[in-house]
């Protein structure tokens, strides 16, 4: 279950390179690849309004 | 199955465009590979992969029943393992949306030999071995995820290992994408509410309709005595199922690693630190890797972040990963030890998940 998603920026500080994602209590790096099932699920939940992607602190 | 019958089936399937080696499009059908774990308890509401590789659970979040899923050594002659479900919390008041489905998702590029959606479409032959604590009836479904089409057949479970053979018709409607995405599923319906049981079973390929998918099945959650075992799962081109196509363990493992693998970085025994190269990026964060997968992934995978010390006595740092289909590299989330070229302190695993 996806619990939390935070943007991870690259060295330029402005390009999001992946989503840091808490899945079943464990943090993961999720690539921005539509073929990745976790990324696809994030997009689905955002579209449904049940998940918000947070900015990095 | 007699040798004569086996030969007749094989010849029939060759005539239908199948047969021969590499005929089974199911991966890990003998349930031998379990990279994640050999047992998981308290399952019932969360979809996903828990134990045996490639075997996915599809569950409803409102399910009241709970079960344990494991890799068992109880298996029919010629097999070492099976997948086992044990009901631990019964559910006899079934809400409409409840379901328990065991499935394998198949890349479209591995399904092209069925010529689905063309005038030359081939029939589907499914076979597997099942057993339970008592008699039960469940549904086996083939599902075209690209075109949302479906067909099902019921099968019976007894207290003895039983080989099930199911023949499904060809489908001249709905071409499967030739790519690495989830195109086709084989699904076993073991429990379902009225959402999935109120219609009529589809004996021929039909448009997606939830109500038809699990009509006439028993409920796996009807008693805490309930068990379900399955192994020897095979899906092949042809009119008649043939004997299970066994393969070397390392071949099955490599197939599974296209979707999931664990890279184990083992520390050197003659130094204080791990053998893994560590560099430093321009932001002062430590970079580690690249780590090359044993098997190329079907898509950029998800990587579980790791926490590990850099250099002996250093504090633990968290690493996040950038991923490709062939390798991944990590970067510490904090700046540390600028100017040094250190090793990592101790063993660690990188969990790579590119599942469908």
Q: Do B320 and A8 touch (CB under 8 A)?
A: yes
**Pair (B61, B106) in one structural domain:** yes
Q: In chain B, what residues touch A21 (CB-CB under 8 Å)?
A: 302
- Which residue of chain B comes nearest to A18, CA vs CA? B322
Q: Distance between CA B148 and CA B116 in Å, rounded?
A: 13
**Pair (B102, B20) in one structural domain:** yes
Identify residues of A whose CB sits under 8 angstroms from chain B CBs: 1, 8, 11, 17-18, 20-21, 23-24, 26-31, 33, 35-39
Domain count, chain B: 2
Å between B162 CA and nearest CA of chain A = 35
Cis peptide before B157 (omega within 30 of 0): no
Domain-located, residue B236 = yes
Cβ-contact B193, B95 below 8 angstroms:
yes
**Pair (B225, B177) in one structural domain:** yes
**Pair (B270, B239) in one structural domain:** no
Give kind and range of the element (H or E) at residue A42: helix A37-48
Instruction: Name the domain boundary from B248, B267, B286.
Output: B248
Å between A12 CA and nearest CA of chain B = 10
The CATH code of the domain that includes B163 is 2.60.120.260
Residue B6: phi and psi, rounded to 5, are: -60, -45
**Pair (B298, B340) in one structural domain:** yes
**Pair (B242, B269) in one structural domain:** no
Q: Distance between CA B20 and CA B254 in Å, rounded?
A: 21
pLDDT tens string, chain B, 356 residues long: the values are 688 887 787 787 777 777 778 999 999 999 999 999 999 999 999 999 999 999 999 999 999 999 999 999 999 999 999 999 999 999 999 999 999 999 999 999 999 999 999 999 999 999 999 999 999 999 999 999 999 999 999 999 999 999 999 999 999 999 999 999 999 999 999 999 999 999 999 999 999 999 999 999 999 999 999 999 999 999 999 999 999 999 999 999 999 999 999 998 776 555 544 445 566 665 667 788 888 999 999 999 999 998 877 665 667 778 899 999 999 998 888 776 544 455 666 778 899 999 99
Residue B293: closest CA among B324, B318, B268:
B324
**Pair (B262, B233) in one structural domain:** no
Among A2, A9, A37, A39, most B C-beta atoms within 10 A, so best to mutate, is A37
Residue B276: closest CA among B287, B260, B262, B261:
B287
Domain-located, residue B299 = yes
Cβ-contact A46, A7 below 8 angstroms:
no
Note the pLDDT of residue B3.
80
Domain-located, residue B334 = yes
Token pair of A1 as six digits? 């279950």
Token pair of B302 as six digits? 């998800």
Domain-located, residue B38 = yes
Q: Do A30 and B302 touch (CB under 8 A)?
A: yes
Note the pLDDT of residue B65.
98
Token pair of B285 as six digits? 């964060």
Domain-located, residue B13 = yes
User: Of B180, B300, B304, which is closest to A31 when you measure between CB atoms?
Assistant: B300
Among B60, B108, B285, B299, most A C-beta atoms within 10 A, so best to mutate, is B299
Given CB atoms, is B272 within the 8 Å cutoff of chain A? no
Which pTM value belongs to this model? 0.93
Domain-located, residue B52 = yes
Token pair of B46 as six digits? 């969360």
Cβ-contact B234, B128 below 8 angstroms:
yes
**Pair (B276, B229) in one structural domain:** no
Token pair of B158 as six digits? 């007894």
Q: In chain B, what residues touch A18 (CB-CB under 8 Å)?
A: 320-323
**Pair (B296, B230) in one structural domain:** no
Domain-located, residue B253 = no
Q: In chain A, what residues touch B262 (CB-CB under 8 Å)?
A: none
Q: Do A11 and B281 touch (CB under 8 A)?
A: yes
User: Of B305, B354, B355, which is closest to A29 when you measure between CB atoms?
Assistant: B305
Domain-located, residue B315 = yes
Instruction: Name the domain boundary from B248, B275, B308.
Output: B248
pLDDT in tens, A1-30: 899 999 999 878 899 999 999 999 999 999
Burial bucket for residue B120 (CB in 10 Å: 0-12, 13-18, 19+): exposed
Note the pLDDT of residue B5.
80
Residue ranges making up the domain that contains B103: 3-248
HEC profile of chain B: CCHHHHHHHHHHHHHCCCCCCCCCCCCCCCCCCCCCCCEEEEECCCCEECCCCCCEEEECCCCCCEEEEEEECCCCCCCCCEEEEEEEECCCCCCCCCEEEEEEEEEHHHCHHHCCCCCCCCCEEEEEEEEECCCEEEEEEEEECCCCEEEEEEEEECCCCEEEEEEECCCCCCCCCCCCCEEEEEEEEEEECHHHHCCCCCCCCEECCHHHCCCCCCCHHHCCCCEEEEEEEEEEECCCCCCCCCCCHHHHHHHHHCCEEEEEECCCCCCCCCCCCEEECCCCEEEEEEEECCCCCCCCCEEECEEEEECCCCCEEEEEEEECCCEEEEEEEEECCCCCCCCEECCEEEEEECCC
Cβ-contact B53, B33 below 8 angstroms:
yes
**Pair (B25, B114) in one structural domain:** yes
**Pair (B277, B194) in one structural domain:** no
Identify the band that residue A38 occupies on the pLDDT scale cut at 50, 70 and 90: very high
**Pair (B80, B210) in one structural domain:** yes
Instruction: Name the domain boundary from B248, B282, B301.
Output: B248
């Amino acid at each position: 279950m996806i619990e939390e998603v935070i943007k991870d920026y690259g060295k330029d500080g402005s390009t999001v390179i992946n989503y840091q994602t808490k899945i079943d209590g464990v943090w993961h790096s999720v690539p921005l690849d539509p073929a990745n099932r976790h990324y696809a699920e994030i997009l689905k939940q955002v579209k449904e309004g049940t998940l918000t992607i947070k900015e990095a602190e | 199955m007699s040798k004569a019958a086996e030969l007749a089936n094989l010849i029939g399937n060759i005539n239908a465009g199948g047969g021969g080696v590499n005929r089974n499009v199911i991966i890990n059908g003998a349930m031998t590979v379990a990279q994640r774990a050999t047992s998981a308890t308290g399952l019932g509401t969360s979809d996903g992969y828990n134990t045996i590789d490639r075997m996915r659970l599809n569950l409803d979040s409102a399910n009241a029943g709970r079960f344990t899923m494991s890799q068992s050594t109880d298996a029919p002659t010629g097999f070492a393992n099976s997948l086992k479900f044990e009901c631990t919390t019964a559910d006899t008041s079934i809400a409409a949306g409840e379901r328990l489905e065991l499935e394998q998702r198949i890349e479209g590029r591995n399904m092209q030999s069925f010529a689905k959606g063309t005038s030359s479409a081939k029939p589907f032959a499914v076979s597997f071995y099942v057993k339970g604590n008592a008699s039960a009836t469940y549904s086996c479904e083939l599902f075209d995820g690209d075109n949302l089409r479906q067909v099902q057949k019921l099968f019976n479970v007894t207290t003895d290992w039983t080989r099930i053979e199911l023949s499904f018709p060809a489908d001249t409607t709905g071409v499967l994408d030739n790519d690495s995405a989830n195109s086709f599923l084989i699904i076993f319906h073991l429990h379902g509410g009225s959402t999935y049981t109120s219609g009529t079973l589809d004996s021929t390929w039909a448009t997606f309709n939830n109500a038809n998918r699990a009509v006439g099945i028993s409920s796996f959650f009807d008693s805490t005595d309930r068990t379900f075992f399955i192994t020897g799962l095979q899906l092949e081109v042809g009119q008649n199922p043939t004997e299970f196509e066994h393969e070397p363990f390392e071949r099955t493992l490599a197939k599974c690693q296209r979707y999931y693998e664990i890279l184990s970085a083992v520390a050197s025994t003659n130094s204080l630190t791990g053998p893994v190269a560590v560099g430093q990026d321009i932001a002062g964060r430590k970079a580690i890797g690249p780590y090359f997968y044993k098997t190329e992934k079907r898509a950029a995978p998800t990587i579980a972040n790791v926490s590990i010390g850099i250099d002996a006595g250093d504090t633990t740092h968290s690493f996040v990963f950038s991923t490709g289909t062939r390798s991944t590299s990590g970067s510490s989330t904090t700046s540390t030890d600028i100017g040094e070229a250190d090793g990592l302190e101790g063993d660690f695993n990188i969990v790579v998940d590119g599942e469908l």
